[in-house]
Amino acid sequence: MALAAYACRWLWLKSPYGRMACVVGIAVVGYQAWNAVFPPSSFYRDEFALRTGIAAPPSARFVFKHASFPDLHGDYAAECLFRVSKADYAWLARAAAIPADGEKRSEYGLYRSQAEAAYGGVLRAVVRGQIRARAGDQHGGWALLDDGKTVHFWFVQT
């Protein structure tokens, strides 16, 4: 960090182009840091597609999203709620094809209490979907909720 600060100071004092390079460098690093701490919606779309093998529907509008920053070993958790159109909901129900007990809460989810607060009630699953785990230390799933328009997705890698 000190070396980067020294290099930026040296460039700043060298010429106007050096100042421009410093500003651009700081902006690029700042943008990358922001996206690492606060992932955009595309992260959750990609994560859903990667973990379920099903592309997130184009009608998906995120109601809740939360992800932890990966630790030194790459362990992280991601969870989101998104609403879809009735047609996409029916399509996801056919793709999942695993009936769930509507009385049970949508299982797991590291940030479930926050997701329930964003949802406005208990997350009751109607249909559950599976994730494609590539290793034994990956857990998660997804569920279609009983309101007929919301999908709950969660994934944890430990």
Residue 136 burial (CB count, 10 A): 7
Token representation of residue 55: 């592309």
Tens of pLDDT, residue by residue over 40-92, are 999 999 999 988 888 899 999 999 999 887 777 778 888 999 999 999 999 99
Maximum alpha-carbon separation in the chain: 68
pLDDT value of position 82: 95
Q: What is the dihedral sign for C-alpha 152, 157, 137, 116? A: negative
pLDDT higher for 86 or 17?
Answer: 86
Pairing of strands 125-129, 138-145: antiparallel
Predicted TM-score (pTM) above 0.95: no
Residue 68 burial (CB count, 10 A): 14
pLDDT value of position 98: 59
